[in-house]
Structures are given as C-alpha cells and as structure tokens.
Copies of this chain bind each other. A is one copy, B any other.
Amino acid sequence: MGQLIHLSEAVSLAIHCLALVSVSEKSLNASTMARHLGASRNHLAKVLQQLVKHNFLSSTRGPGGGFTMRKAPGEITLYEIYELMEGKPEIEYCMAHGNECPFSGCVYGNIREKLTEEFVAFFRQRKISDIIPAIKPS
C-alpha cells in the first residue's frame, strides 16, 4: 500500500552501512555488507559511492580493500544522510499545477509542514552513534 512517510531504500542502506562500518575493526567491503543486509550489491555500491564522495567514508581498492569511517559516528546525524540521499524535504503544492487552486488556504492545513518539521527535528538529533548499540552481535 501507499507509504505515507516515504524513506527510500537508499537512505536506509546508507544509515545501516555507516553503523556497520563504524563498529567494524577492519575495512568492510560492499559484498559483505550486501550479504549482511540482504540487499542488492549493486544498489548498495551506488550508495557507498555517494558516501565516499561526500567524505563520510574512505574507500580502498584491491584485495582486502573496502570502506572505513572518515567521520566519527557521533558527528553524523541521520538528517545529513537523509538530505544527501533525498535532498531537502519539500512541501509541494497539493497538485503540482501551480496556482489554479480555488481554495484560499490549503485543504491540508499545515499538517504536512508540521510533520516534516517533526521528522527533521528527530533526524537532526539522532546520530549514527545512537543506533550502534542496536547492532546484533554476529
């Protein structure tokens, strides 16, 4: 069914990976993470690339290579990751058709703005370090 609160798989993958790399002693490669998360290796590789490009992770190629942290998990908020993968959350006009709407105030009131703000506040305050304790011992 429809997802009211839409968080793409890419965002989830990014967050999961950052936490996994944080707790790993040696560098972690894409295939291993994909296996652990039960996700597509290809999709995950794309996400990791982004995280490297924006300096959350370092990568090393070649045998024994993989990804390591470049920022401390306490320095990374979930919001940064969200915005990196999805862009700033916007409220679109109900029906993207401009200003044809015959209603003076939006029929939705300001509920979307309110919920978006709540979401952002939560994600800004929550850090990768906060979710690390939830990792199951493997």
Contacts and interface: CB of A to CB of B under 8 A. Distances in A.
Interface of A: 1-9, 12-13, 15-16, 19-20, 36-39, 78, 86-92, 94-98, 100-105, 107-109, 111-112, 114-116, 118-119, 122-123, 126, 131, 134-136, 138
A131 B107 contact: yes
B5 A5 contact: yes
Contacts of A92: 3
Contact of A118 (B8, B109, B115, B134): B115
B7 A108 contact: yes
A103 to B, nearest CB: 5
A106 to B, nearest CB: 8
Given A102-B136, A135-B102, A89 B13 contact: no
